[in-house]
Every structure is written in structure tokens, then in C-alpha cells.
Amino acid sequence: MAVKQTAGHDQLGDFAPKFAELNDDVLFGQVWSREKELSLRDRSLITVVALITKGAFEQLNYHMANAKKNGVTKDEMAEVITQLAFYVGWPNAWSAFAIAKKVYGDED
């Protein structure tokens, strides 16, 4: 089950309250909670792929850690990044691997 997200309200609630509401209540509340349609693991993997593709590395650490928590293994993450390298660019893969090493660093 998805955890209640409050990052939008915490970080932008005073500055951009509607955006904070959409982030926390709609994206993480309504969309991420649709586990019957897609598991949290699948949603996490899709999100990681989208962020790597866009080069949105500032958000990747959080979502990669979330993917790990939702059951994506180190070997699976390495395979995903390797596959993506040929489609989204070698520099994006290198950047993603740097984050993956930090997130999965405690695993053998």
C-alpha cells in the first residue's frame, strides 16, 4: 500500500498550494494507490525509467530508493539501466549508475 506523501505540502504548500495538493493527493494519493491496476513495484520501475530517460536525476535518488523498497533488485536495476543506455544515452546511464551504486551500495 502506498504511503501518504506530504513532500508537496511540506516543501511547496505555502508557495504553490495547488501544485502541492496535486502532487501529494492526486499523484501520490490517487494514482500511486491504484495497486490493482499496477503494482507499486511496477510503478516504481516505470518512474525510474521515465526519470532516467528525461535526465531528471535530482528526483531519481528518491524514486530509485522507493523502487528498491518496492522490490526491484540491484541486478534488475543494473539491467534496466544497461538496456536504457542504448536508447536514452550513455551519459544518462552513467549518471543513473552513480545513483544506483549509492542506493544499492549495501548489497553484495
pLDDT value, residue 2: 52
**Residue 108: pLDDT over 80:** no
Is there a single domain that holds both residue 63 and residue 14?
A: no
Q: Does 72 have pLDDT greater than 60?
A: yes
Same domain? For 9 and 61 the reply is no
The predicted structure's pLDDT at residue 11: 86
- The tens digit of pLDDT for each residue in 12-65 reads 889 999 989 998 898 888 888 888 999 999 999 999 999 999 999 999 999 999
What's the whole-number mean pLDDT along residues 89-108? 92
Model pLDDT, residue 28:
85
Return d(Cα 49, Cα 10) in angstroms, integer: 26
Average pLDDT over the chain reads 92
In a shared domain, residues 48 and 7 = no
The average pLDDT across 76-92 equals: 97
Task: Encode burial over 39-56: b for 16+ CB neighbours within 10 A, e otherwise.
Answer: ebbebbbebbbebbeeee
Count of domains forming the chain: 2
pLDDT band (50, 70, 90) for residue 97: very high
Q: Which domain holds residue 98?
A: 38-108
Would you state the cell numbers that stand for residue 38, as one nine-digit string? 499496477
3 shares a domain with 47: no
Pair (51, 19) in one structural domain: no
Q: In terms of domains, do 42 and 8 share one?
A: no
Residue 66 shares a structural domain with residue 28: no
Residue 69, domain CATH: 1.20.1290.10
| Distance of alpha carbon 25 from alpha carbon 35, whole angstroms | 16
